[in-house]
Chain A
Amino acid sequence: MEPVNERELVERCRQDDEGAFQELVDRYKNLVFAMIARTVQDRSRIEDLAQDVFLRIHRGLPYFRGEARLSTWIYRIVANVCAQARAKAPDQVSLDDERSAAVMPSGADPQFADIELRDRLEKAIARLPDRQRLLIAAHYLQGVQYEDLADALRLPLGTVKTHLYRAKRQLRRLLETELK
């Protein structure tokens, strides 16, 4: 989104323009929803948490100073909502889930093998620490750059990259261990 348009939109939202807020929700709903869906284990809570994010945005807009980009501020809110959701309902996902216990048989259909691998990847992601999982969730959404994440999480750029590499190394090790 163009920064100027973003500022105008924020200004209109601050003037209690419900149409403007509706536009904001429409612009960011898929991004927020995807980030939450990729981070939170409990499928039934995704919409509720996504609504929480927009509720916080609505309450917080009068205090949004515009120093960061709106999207950066929204990532930060998503990170907080996900962290709180995790704290309220800690969940454990095991790679040994009975549905994925069977390792790909030799000679299986490659398409099936890919699906199987994706399934195991999702479960491996679920086992990552919160921050790494959020980084993985956000970084691989379209248009989210290392710099955006660094701003949103108030971390140095190098730290964000290091966390991401560590997360992916962890994923690789988890998958290698499981497939041995």
Chain B
Amino acid sequence: MLCDEVLEAIEPIAAGDLTPDQTVAAHLASCASCRAALDRARDIERMLQARAAPAAPPHFTSRTLARIRRDEWRRDQLLDAGFNTAVATLVLAAVAGVWLVMHQSGIVTVSNDAVGLIEMFIVVVARRIAPELPLYAAATALLAVTVGVWWWAERDVTNW
């Protein structure tokens, strides 16, 4: 049997996954090089099994949970910001859409005309009222004095 064939089986033998048959065992007994390789493979197997497994440091759990909470908070913030941005965009889009529809259908022009008419009406009424203003002011003052006198005459003096 060739050394190469045995060397192929060295690691499975060292790991205990393969039991050497008679031919391999005989070769290992007679070949110092393959026997040394098997010894080395067994050393490696032993060292790998005894290899230190570092434990998590103290407070690892609390630090991890704190990080997860921070992550969740950040994600919530992002979600909120995204939601608010989406709502604002929708509102803007709706306003723009309504304005566009009104503009396209001519309603904007009509409403502009309506505003102009109201302004004209206010101006006309103000011009007509302006000359009579002292008369209205005197009538309002007379009414206020009358109400005042009536209140003074009818007041309940017993409450004083």
Task: List A residues at the B interface (Cβ < 8 Å).
Answer: 18, 21-22, 25-26, 29-30, 32-34, 37-38, 46-47, 50-51, 54-55, 58, 117-118, 121, 136, 140-142, 161, 164-165, 168-169, 171-172, 175-176
What does DSSP make chain B's interface, helix, strand, loop or mixed?
helix
The answer to whether B51 touches A140 (Cβ under 8 A) is yes
Q: Please indicate the chain B residues that have their CB under 8 angstroms from the CB of A175 in the complex.
A: 40, 44
What does DSSP make chain A's interface, helix, strand, loop or mixed?
helix
Q: Does B29 contact A (CB under 8 A)?
A: no
The answer to whether B45 touches A141 (Cβ under 8 A) is no
Give complex CA distance A21, B64 in Å.
Answer: 10
Task: List B residues at the A interface (Cβ < 8 Å).
Answer: 10-12, 14-15, 17, 37, 40-41, 43-45, 47-49, 51, 53-57, 60-61, 63-65, 67-68, 71
The answer to whether B63 touches A117 (Cβ under 8 A) is no
The answer to whether B53 touches A121 (Cβ under 8 A) is no
Interchain CB contact (< 8 A) of A33 among B43, B44, B54: B54
Q: Please indicate the chain A residues that have their CB under 8 angstroms from the CB of B54 in the complex.
A: 33-34, 37-38, 46
Tell me the smallest distance from the CB of A1 to a CB of chain B, in Å: 17
Interchain CB contact (< 8 A) of B64 among A25, A30, A171, A172: A25
Q: Please indicate the chain B residues that have their CB under 8 angstroms from the CB of A33 in the complex.
A: 54-56, 60
Tell me the smallest distance from the CB of A71 to a CB of chain B, in Å: 15
The answer to whether A136 touches B48 (Cβ under 8 A) is yes
> Of A142, A168, A176, which is in contact with the most chain B CB atoms at under 10 Å from its CB?
A168
